[in-house]
């Protein structure tokens, strides 16, 4: 158990719909990262938040957005869903210690999104 | 953009055999991480490397930070069925991007 929790574990929805995925980081971790994992794409970095602010952005579609709340949990919002958005979505957290250029990331169990 | 290539892409080995896989980068890294992902689960950190030439072990796993700083290697000795999964390498962020390798899928035949 990494200490990172994600809900829901599974989500089935229809094209055009909007969903929200939730992540709670490990206690004390300030950074949250979101990744998408499709069958043929590997782990694709979407976005990072640090202490409530967006820190880095990867290959995140404009239909997707995220935020990190004062209690440090994060939500990933996916809208106007398409069939190709079906994937595993992982959240990871890290402590982001001062002076360290890279912190080890600890992953949650993921949310499996199926768009029909 | 940055790419981390892993080889081999997949491996099928007999239980008890040793395994070697590697990860190469198009640019120099100062950190290498190795993760394992079980089916339907999130990746779990196995080993972290922070210094060129560094050799670090975690049980039957040994990873090395290549001296060119553009590659890293992971070895598993005396494989067992629970070693099955996908192994990913990862490096530090480049231009605020975080990259994971393409993955090596390991199957252990009892």
Residue-level pLDDT at A41: 67
| Chain A interface test: which of B91, B98, B100 (most A C-beta within 10 Å) | B98
pLDDT of residue B27: 86
Q: Do B31 and A33 touch (CB under 8 A)?
A: no
pLDDT band at A14 (very low <50, low <70, confident <90, very high): very high
Contact B75, B46 (CB under 8 A): no
Give the pLDDT score at B40: 82
How large a percentage of chain A has pLDDT more than 90?
76
pLDDT value at position B92? 77
Give which of A32, A56, A102, A107 to mutate to test B binding, by max B Cβ within 10 Å.
A102
Query: In this structure, what are the phi and psi dihedrals at residue B83, rounded to the nearest 5 degrees?
Result: -75, -10
In chain B, which among 67-106 make CB contacts under 8 A with chain A? 88, 90-93, 96-103
Residues contacting residue A1 through CB under 8 Å, at least 6 positions apart: none
Q: How confident is the model at residue A100, as a pLDDT?
A: 57
B42 and A101 within 8 Å at the Cβ level: the answer is no
On the question of pLDDT at B57 being above 90, the answer is: yes
* A46-63: burial string, b at 16+ Cβ within 10 Å, e else: bbbbbeeeebbebebeee
Give the gap in angstroms from C-alpha B55 to the nearest C-alpha of chain A.
18
3-state secondary structure of A76: strand
State the pLDDT at residue B2.
56
Contact A49/B at CB under 8 A: no
């Amino acid at each position: 158990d990494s200490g990172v929790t994600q809900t829901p574990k599974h989500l089935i929805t229809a094209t055009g719909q909007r969903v929200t995925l939730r992540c709670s980081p490990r206690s004390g971790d300030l950074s949250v990262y979101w990744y998408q994992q499709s069958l043929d794409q590997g782990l694709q970095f979407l976005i990072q938040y640090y202490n409530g602010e967006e820190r880095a952005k990867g290959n995140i579609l404009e239909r997707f957005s995220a935020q990190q709340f004062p209690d440090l949990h994060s939500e990933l919002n996916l809208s106007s869903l398409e069939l190709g958005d079906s994937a595993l979505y992982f959240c990871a957290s890290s402590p982001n210690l001062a002076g360290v250029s890279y912190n080890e990331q600890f992953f949650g169990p993921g949310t499996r999104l199926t768009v029909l | 953009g940055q790419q981390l290539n892993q080889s081999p892409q997949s491996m099928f080995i007999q239980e008890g055999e040793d395994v070697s896989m590697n990860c190469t980068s198009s640019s120099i890294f100062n950190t290498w991480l190795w993760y394992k992902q079980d089916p339907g689960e999130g990746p779990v950190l196995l080993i972290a490397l922070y210094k060129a030439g560094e050799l670090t072990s975690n049980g039957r796993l040994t990873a090395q930070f290549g001296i060119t700083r553009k590659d890293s290697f992971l070895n598993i000795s005396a494989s067992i069925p629970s070693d099955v999964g996908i192994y990913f390498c990862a490096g530090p962020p480049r231009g605020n991007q975080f990259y994971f390798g393409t993955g090596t899928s390991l199957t252990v035949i009892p």
